[in-house]
Amino acid sequence: MLSAAALALLFAAGCNKLKARDQLNKGVQAYKNAKYEEAINRFQNAVALDPSLLNARLYLATAYAQQYVPGADTPDNNRNAEQAIDQYKQVLSRNPTREQQINSVKGIAYLYLQMKKFDQAKDYYRKASQIDPNDPEPYYSVGVIDWTQSYQPRMEERAKLGLKPDETLKDKKVCQHLKDLSGANIQDGVDVLNKALQLRPDYDDAMAYMNLMYREKADTECDTPDQQTADLKTADDWVDKTMATKKAKAAKAAAQQPGGIVEQPASQTQ
């Protein structure tokens, strides 16, 4: 038989779990009412009462992330992001469900992206792809980061040369420098965006970044003018695909609206 002390411990643990869920529910209500500080306090209480209550940690991480303002590089603001990341990592270390795992990994990736910690962000987006290989969004996000990491140094080099936006880079030394610096990111960007488009063929945002990525690639191809011209042609093709896809989506959305008008072929309107 259990001793009185053991029974007391079990009873206390059960009470704490009930109290934790009560704090979690009150925190969710506060969060929905945009009372983020109160929500954080409630979620902290829930975690303290029941460290195994992973949904409380996820909500706490989300509440911290909500307080984070991208671009405001202050200790207090950065602390919000770091505390959110810490709670997501706590979830990952405690045998989470698949959904909890995905939410945590994506949450960390997004915060690192907003903090401009690009390599860490890519690492976690890749982890998200490993957990759910059929989700196109992490592949797209890696592509966006690849482009961001390539674009800035290219713009700096073009500015030094005084090039206009529509001028093609011809300086072979600069082209080679950009290829050495960004070639791997450019190729990775093309690869992951292609993967995103395989999974979601009408992913117009991914198409738009394919256009941008091929413009990055073109400025690394000075030594092969034909390839440079081909890259720019491919970029223009992706612009056309993006616009056509957006137009098709808009037409489909309009047709699905009550009273939407769908244009009929001429043979059916006479």
Closest by alpha carbon to 82, among 112, 39, 45?
112
What percent of the chain is predicted at pLDDT more than 90? 81
Q: What is the pLDDT of residue 78?
A: 94
Neighbours of 166 (CB within 10 A): 5
Q: What is the pLDDT of residue 257?
A: 76
What percent of the chain is predicted at pLDDT more than 70? 90
- What digits encode the pLDDT tens for the residues 218-267? 999 988 999 999 999 999 999 999 999 999 999 988 888 765 544 444 44
Give the long-range contacts of residues 74-83, CB within 8 A, separation 24 or more: 78/115, 81/111, 81/114, 81/115
Per-residue DSSP letter, 169: P
Cα–Cα–Cα angle for 248, 254, 259, rounded to 5 degrees: 150
Q: What's the average model confidence in pLDDT over 178-188? A: 96
Token couple for 175: 């082209």
Token couple for 205: 């945002």
Amino acid at 212: L
**Residues written for the chain:** 270
Q: What's the average model confidence in pLDDT over 162-177? A: 90
- What digits encode the pLDDT tens for the residues 32-51? 999 999 999 999 999 999 99
Q: What is the pLDDT of residue 269?
A: 37
Token couple for 204: 């117009």
- pLDDT of 2 higher than 90: no
Query: Is residue 134 within 8 Å of 173, Cβ to Cβ?
Result: no
- pLDDT of 14 higher than 90: no
Token couple for 227: 């390839």
Token couple for 81: 């992001």
Q: What's the average model confidence in pLDDT over 75-97? A: 96
Rounded Cα distance between 266 and 270, Å, is 7
Closest by alpha carbon to 158, among 235, 218, 236?
218
Q: How confident is residue 7, by pLDDT bands cut at 50, 70 and 90?
A: very low
Q: What is the pTM of this model?
A: 0.85
Token couple for 37: 């500080």
Q: Is 2 helix (H, G, I), strand (E, B) or coil?
A: coil
Rounded Cα distance between 157 and 260, Å, is 50
| Max intra-chain CA distance, the chain | 90
Neighbours of 163 (CB within 10 A): 17
Q: What's the average model confidence in pLDDT over 183-192? A: 98
Rounded Cα distance between 16 and 13, Å, is 5
Neighbours of 217 (CB within 10 A): 25
Closest by alpha carbon to 233, among 142, 177, 241?
241
- What digits encode the pLDDT tens for the residues 196-221? 999 999 999 999 999 999 999 999 99
Neighbours of 245 (CB within 10 A): 18
